[in-house]
């Protein structure tokens, strides 16, 4: 599958199903009754951007990708106009080389060996698709502290301020919440409905996060995020 740019998947589970062969897929030819079959194909996606999902920012979506990047072309390199013919003359050697690779893959239970560069590429793409990761590692906005808490509404408001001050677009509140729920153990958090908000009511929030700035949250807080630093 050749791509000229980024390929967004509106339904990330379709992508997961295809690449893992976890379930049969509906196949349909024009004018013929559809039928179900197991698909064992793999995708090779070439493009100027990474494979992205409109909604799925889970680790599973990115874990199923091997993101390879090419080296920059040296300025001194001269392209060979006869490269296709030269490779065709070496086709037997190329096939033997590919077969050796297939044997290694089979011996490794069909799991590709990932280089450090590939792992770094995946981490970069994952962070680029979900800036909440960088927010949780930021300084001056929140701090991970076991005996502190923050409401879900306040935390998302602080995240919005962080995005605004860093020229970034915040992800949707539901996506932000889903990200935190998937990573409670990563950040040593607890999701609970016993956090007390500014009005004294118990609401949903997180134990293990200390807010370092305090947004003034009103009924229309989404339209205005005025910030003040609490007095020490």
Let me know whether 121 and 159 are in one domain: no
Kindly state whether residues 161 and 183 are assigned to the same domain: yes
- Torsion (CA) 130, 131, 136, 142 in degrees, nearest 10: -140
Count of domains forming the chain: 2
Q: Answer whether residue 77 is part of any domain.
A: no
Residue 78 lies in a domain: no
Confirm whether 13 is domain-assigned.
yes
Q: Are residues 119 and 20 in the same domain?
A: yes
Residue 187 domain-assigned (yes or no): yes
Question: How much is the pLDDT for 20?
Answer: 60
| pLDDT for res 52 | 62
| Residue 76 maps to a domain | no
Asked if 191 contacts 180 with a C-beta cutoff of 8 angstroms, the reply is yes
Domain that holds residue 194: 132-228
Among 6, 5, 43, 2, which Cα is nearest to 21's? 43
Residues 199, 89 within the same domain: no
Look at residue 113 in the predicted model and tell me its pLDDT.
86
- Asked which of 97, 112, 129 is the last residue of a domain, the reply is 129
Same domain, 178 and 216: yes
Q: Both 58 and 122 in a single domain?
A: yes
15 and 106 in a single domain? The answer is yes
Within this chain, do residues 12 and 98 fall inside the same structural domain, yes or no? yes
Residue 113: inside a domain: yes
- pLDDT by residue for the chain (232 residues), tens only, comes to 333 334 444 455 566 666 665 667 777 777 888 888 777 666 666 666 666 654 556 666 677 777 888 888 889 999 999 999 999 999 999 999 999 999 998 999 888 888 898 888 888 888 888 899 999 999 999 999 999 999 999 999 999 999 999 999 999 999 899 999 999 999 999 999 999 998 899 999 999 999 999 887 544 444 434 443 444 4
Whether residues 138 and 222 fall in one domain: yes
How far is the first Cα of the chain from the last one, in angstroms, to the nearest whole number?
57
Taken in order 86, 87, 90, 91, the sign of the CA dihedral is negative
| pLDDT the model gives residue 221 | 43
């Amino acid at each position: 599958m050749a791509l000229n740019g980024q390929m967004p998947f509106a339904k990330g589970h379709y992508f997961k199903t295809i690449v893992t062969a976890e379930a049969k897929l509906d196949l349909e030819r024009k004018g013929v009754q559809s039928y179900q079959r197991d698909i064992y194909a793999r995708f090779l996606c070439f493009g100027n951007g990474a494979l992205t999902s409109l909604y799925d920012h889970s680790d599973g979506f990115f874990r199923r990708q091997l993101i390879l990047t090419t080296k920059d072309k040296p300025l001194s390199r001269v392209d060979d106009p006869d490269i296709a013919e030269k490779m065709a003359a070496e086709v037997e050697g190329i096939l033997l080389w590919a077969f050796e690779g297939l044997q290694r893959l089979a011996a490794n239970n069909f799991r590709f060996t990932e280089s450090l560069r590939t792992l770094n590429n995946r981490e970069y793409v994952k962070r680029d698709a979900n800036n909440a990761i960088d927010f949780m590692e930021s300084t001056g906005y929140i701090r991970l502290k076991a005996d502190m808490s923050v409401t879900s509404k306040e935390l998302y408001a602080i995240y919005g301020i962080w995005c605004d001050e860093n020229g970034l677009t915040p992800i949707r509140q539901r996506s932000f919440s889903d990200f935190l729920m998937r990573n409670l153990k990563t950040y040593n958090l607890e999701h609970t409905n016993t956090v007390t908000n500014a009005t004294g009511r118990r609401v949903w929030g997180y134990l293990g996060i200390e807010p370092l700035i305090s947004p003034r949250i009103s009924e229309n807080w989404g339209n205005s995020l005025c910030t003040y630093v609490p007095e020490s």
